[in-house]
Structure 1
């Protein structure tokens, strides 16, 4: 089920990263429960290198009301940072498979789609198939 979420990711003395976005509730649970680490980059200044797990208290479901979600989508009201649109931090995430996919180049949503649904990112399907052939 889709829901509207608000995130306030604590970066210590450097500040917070905030965002309002729409996501699947099961994907949010997977992100939190499986300790998926998000790489935001140098978003708080040069050499800031912000990454880490989004904790349960840093993300709040605002509503699952389809009318509200429709209005947010229709008018482009999502804002700030969406952890699912950021790069997966492979050095801090456990159980990242070595399967022909360079997960460090993928978005968090790509990784969760693979883990939950077995979906390989489109741009890595060829290298994944080659990896599968090499395992035979």
Structure 2
């Protein structure tokens, strides 16, 4: 058992040293591999995400709970630093997808007409009671 731990530590140390010495070469190889196999890598990623949705969702939830404060802080900082860029992107997105959004809303309204009317009546009833 002690030998196994010792060997494991040696291997870990060797790999660390090897990575430090050959860092640039390894990064270069990774980039080349990605360039040569882009589609294959993307397909694998899609397949993995499709087959492991629940696992990924759970992992993301745990990560978010663990790092919630830091993530919120980073997000606020990002929005403050890139406010103009985000606004421009949103305007551009809205302009490009205006027709799609109108079509979607029209379809949504047609499918949920009765439900929406019922909610509206309920809303007015509640407000009448308050007055």
TM-score category of the 2 structures, normalised to the smaller one: under 0.3
With a CA cutoff of 8 Å and minimum separation of 6, indicate the structure with the bigger relative contact order.
1
**Larger CA Rg, structure 1 vs 2:** 2
Q: Which is richer in helix?
A: 2
TM-score if structure 2 supplies the norm length? 0.23
Q: Which is richer in strand?
A: 1
TM-score if structure 1 supplies the norm length? 0.22
